[in-house]
Amino acid sequence: MGDEGRLYVSEAIPPAYKALLHDADLIVPNSFEAELLSGVKITDKQTLVQAITILHKDYHVPHVMVTSVRMVMSKTDEGSPQSDTLTVVGSSCRSDFTPRMFSIKVPALPIMFSGTGDMFAALTLVRLREASKAFHVPLDTTVSTDANPNTSPNQPRSASSSRSLLNVQSWQPPDDVEAKDLPLARATERTLASMHAVLSRTAKARDIELASNAGSIAENPQAEASSPSMQEEDDNKAHVRRTTASEVRIVQGVNDIKSPPSQLGERGEGGGGGESVKDAPDSELNLFVAEQVRQ
């Protein structure tokens, strides 16, 4: 719907999205969109908790992921330069719709990419299904997050002592699961690892392409100074070159998507190498790892 305090759509669209929230199991708004949907201006951790709580309690959305958060979320964030990292904050509510919030920090890249929100949403859904399938709960687990209180949770589908969380309504884990251990937290860690690998690959390719274009332009300087209209045309062409060069390298990073790097600096099968967590600076050791948000 928008970002950075600006709507990309008409003002009639946000109310339509809000009307659909009761039917959603998972939403992945950025900070600005979370403000629009919850009606809460997010300025600090307290207001972020309030916004997510409203989405859980008032709209009965079981799983919420808020992206592009720039604020101190835990003690490990204090004193660290917020411009160097971005934080995503997620929550899978309990049966009483209270939030279980976690945060994950990722390195911020100084480039504007197009389509990263769609990529994050798609990967998160797939990874959440994978994590929920691997997460088993007792047969007598009765978690229900449906907006309709008369709806019964799914019944056990096997005679074993446990069942996959996929067989539980809305893939909702039991109330005793801590925030950092939620399937949504595990899914988000893998999603962010893949995305950072793909976007880092894109950033390197972009720099090479733009440097090559700059060299070609330098070899063919114009004999006379450009007129204002020609300068505007040149600026538009330069913008198109930057935008085109920043197109996310999905195909080139397919191995990073299929096999998310498990450690900072790694690449999926067929990708390049890099430093491991044990060799990384102390300031980077808690990147890509879910931490519980104290409320």
Least confident range from 43-52, 116-125, 143-152: namely 143-152
User: What is the pTM (predicted TM-score) of this model?
Assistant: 0.75
Q: What is the mean pLDDT of the chain?
A: 77
pLDDT of residue 5: 66
How confident is the model over 40-94, as pLDDT tens digits? 999 999 999 999 999 999 999 999 999 988 765 555 555 444 567 888 999 999 9
Q: How confident is the model at residue 147 (pLDDT cuts 50, 70, 90)?
A: very low
Exposed, middle or buried, 115 (CB in 10 Å: 0-12/13-18/19+)? exposed
pLDDT of residue 69: 84
Judge whether residue 17 has pLDDT over 80.
Answer: yes
Judge whether residue 132 has pLDDT over 60.
Answer: yes
How confident is the model over 192-224, as pLDDT tens digits? 999 988 988 888 888 888 888 665 544 455 544
